[in-house]
């Protein structure tokens, strides 16, 4: 627990506010899950991820996704060496601990699909050779919801591989004034390494020891099934709005993330409060809306709120 607090304190030396974003990235580290951050430019998404890598001494690489990006620009390629009359592997930026995929929705489908094997299997295939990545490996992806010109919407299979989708909002007036003062006076403190990969492994083991009661486990499953079969839960009005409910990965990720939240809060057990706290982040990118929902302005968050209000709390 002390390790998490130290990391959080260091990150906040350069990041003002944005508690939910920082906490979500910590949950991703604990659960070894990938995080998708959505927000307008200038909300310190890149700064936060870079600071997080420094606090643990992790290798960090950033890739700016553009429409002309190729899969080999990320994973690497084979290069012919005339001196040895053979091909050599040139490794791409994917060979790192923390990969920042900036504006991931600006890259075409081929590039996005190149990330699928890496995100799921933690391995890279270049030509006929496969390479296991050094752990930990996390993809922290960002996307800008404002500019849609030249953007490629992420397919459901890609979205499902993200542990959480976090909506990053603006800072408060007080926080924004503090940011302006710090930037103008160049008064940001230097980030120190306060943890190691071994510390992170210990944190994960401790988080795994957080107890989940059988009734709370059932509550997680009931929430997931309510997005698939809303009529069984008295949510007939939602059945026309949901094309597909949350996938089985949602159950797994909800279970892991709830444990991580409880651990960060210093608890040795998971309550329904922790589940409700991260429900939107775990589910919002896994519920596929119907055309009717989109036409009426119904969002995934609205559906999740209705499900949370209806499914009985243990």
CATH code of domain 209-310: 1.10.8.80
Q: How far apart are the first and last CA of the chain?
A: 27
* CA dist list (Å): 290 to 71, 167, 294, 297, 308: 32, 21, 7, 11, 20
Tens of pLDDT, residues 111-123 = 877 777 788 888 8
Whether residue 3 contacts residue 27, with contact meaning beta carbons closer than 8 Å, is answered with no
- Nearest alpha-carbon partner for 132 in 124, 144, 141, 142: 124
Count of Cβ atoms closer than 10 Å to residue 123 Cβ: 12
CA 168 to chain centre: 12
> Average pLDDT of 3-22?
82
pLDDT category at 147 given cuts 50, 70, 90 is low
How many Å apart are CA 78 and CA 70, to the nearest integer?
14
Tens of pLDDT, residues 77-96 = 878 778 777 777 788 888 88
Which pLDDT does position 38 carry in this prediction? Answer: 85
pTM, two decimals, is 0.85
Tens of pLDDT, residues 121-135 = 888 877 777 888 887
- Nearest alpha-carbon partner for 305 in 249, 240, 218, 235: 235
How many Å apart are CA 214 and CA 173, to the nearest integer?
43
Count of Cβ atoms closer than 10 Å to residue 266 Cβ: 9
The CATH 3.40.50.300 domain(s) of the chain lie at 2-198
How many Å apart are CA 284 and CA 258, to the nearest integer?
16
pLDDT category at 219 given cuts 50, 70, 90 is very high
How many Å apart are CA 123 and CA 134, to the nearest integer?
9
Tens of pLDDT, residues 263-302 = 998 888 898 999 999 999 999 888 888 888 888 888 888 8
The CATH 1.10.8.80 domain(s) of the chain lie at 209-310
Fold held by 2-198? Rossmann fold (3.40.50)
């Amino acid at each position: 627990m002390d390790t998490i607090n130290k990391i959080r304190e260091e990150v906040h030396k350069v990041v003002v506010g944005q508690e939910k974003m920082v906490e979500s990235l910590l949950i991703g580290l604990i659960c070894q899950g990938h995080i998708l951050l959505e927000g307008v430019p200038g909300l310190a998404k890149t700064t936060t991820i870079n600071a997080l890598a420094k606090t643990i001494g992790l290798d960090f690489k950033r890739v700016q996704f553009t429409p002309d990006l190729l899969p080999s620009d990320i994973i690497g390629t084979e290069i012919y060496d005339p001196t040895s009359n053979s091909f050599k592997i040139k490794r791409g930026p994917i060979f790192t601990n923390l990969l920042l995929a900036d504006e991931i929705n600006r890259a075409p489908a081929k590039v996005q699909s190149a990330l699928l094997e890496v995100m799921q299997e933690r391995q890279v295939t270049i030509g006929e050779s496969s390479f296991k990545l050094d752990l930990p490996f996390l993809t922290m992806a960002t996307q800008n919801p404002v500019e849609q010109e030249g953007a490629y919407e992420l397919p459901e299979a890609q979205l499902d591989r993200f542990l959480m989708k976090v909506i990053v909002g603006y800072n408060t007036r007080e926080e924004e004034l503090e940011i302006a003062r710090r930037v103008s006076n160049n008064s940001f403190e230097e980030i120190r390494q306060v943890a190691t990969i071994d510390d992170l492994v210990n944190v994960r083991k401790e988080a795994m020891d957080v107890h989940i009661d059988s009734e709370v486990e059932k509550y997680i499953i009931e929430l997931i099934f309510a997005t698939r079969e809303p009529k069984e839960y008295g949510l007939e009005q939602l059945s026309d709005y949901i094309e597909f409910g949350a996938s089985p990965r949602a159950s797994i990720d909800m279970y892991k993330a709830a444990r991580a939240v409880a651990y960060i809060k210093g608890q040795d057990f998971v309550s329904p409060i922790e589940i409700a706290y991260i429900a939107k982040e775990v589910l919002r990118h896994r519920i596929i809306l119907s055309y009717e929902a989109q036409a009426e302005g119904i969002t995934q968050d609205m559906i999740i709120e209705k499900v949370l209000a209806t499914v009985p709390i243990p």
